Structure 1
């Protein structure tokens, strides 16, 4: 069922809003906040998990506190955009831990990467040794973020 869009009612949406803000909340407190008893809340929670709406739970880390304050966005243009080349790039880019996000883009370039490093020197190393060495990379352009105005941490 995870491939199909699940119908969500107001209680389901309330569960998701609360969990997005506080993933470690108890079922009892979650039930209290959405206005249902514990048992139906747990049933809905299980349905949302099994249906793939809730993909998992994780700790949200503060990258600044971890010494990773430098953010750059990188446009990547490939020399080859046939399917095998795209698959090779996709597989390889997933292995670079500094790449937080990678999106295929319909534009004058092929991919947009969000790269997080300690500083500009670290970024230059990642760009030279890892990103530029990815399969079929023809050119890159970097945009350094000065401030995160809105970001999920």
Structure 2
């Protein structure tokens, strides 16, 4: 990626709906070469897709919970089975394989504590291979960035 590609990515992180003419102007290219570069960035996977940023509280999911999970075994099969199971849970927004004392860190959203309790009892606790779980509720989001830092 050169400096123009980085400008394109930065501009698209800022506004994924920017018109091609405005994008090309912003990065200093004419529209056709700019469109070609965007297509290359999409094809190479640098641009993985386009989405709308949604306010989870306004959608009725104001509660965020981080759940640290320790598995009974740390084998590839155990990790794959866990990942396959939690991939089916829409409440799981992110799932990270971690270093340290906990194997997995999940970020889960819920309407309220009753909703979260139901998720735990009827879904997550039924996933085989979990040794322990520890939940932490967020009080408020202090920093949330959508755009990755791009060296210019």
Alignment TM-score > 0.5, same fold: yes
Kindly report which structure 2 residues correspond to 1:99-110, keeping only aligned pairs within 5 A, or say none. Answer: 99-110=92-103
How high is the TM-score relative to the length of structure 2?
0.91
Correspondence for 1:53 among 40, 46, 54: 46
Correspondence for 2:9 among 1, 12, 16: 16
- Count residues in correspondence: 146
Q: Which residue of 1 aligns with 2:105?
A: 112
Deviation digits for residues 7-55 of structure 1, max 9, x if unmatched?
A: x111101110111111111110101111211111111111111111111
Moved over 4 A (4+): none
RMSD: 1.1
Q: Which residue of 1 aligns with 2:20?
A: 27
Q: Which residue of 1 aligns with 2:76?
A: 83
Gaps of 5+ in 2: 147-152
Q: Which residue of 2 aligns with 1:65?
A: 58
Higher relative contact order (CA 8 A, sep 6+): 2
How high is the TM-score relative to the length of structure 1?
0.91
Q: Which residue of 2 aligns with 1:132?
A: 125
1:122 aligns with 2:121: no
Q: Distance in 2 between matches of 1:119 and 1:98?
A: 12
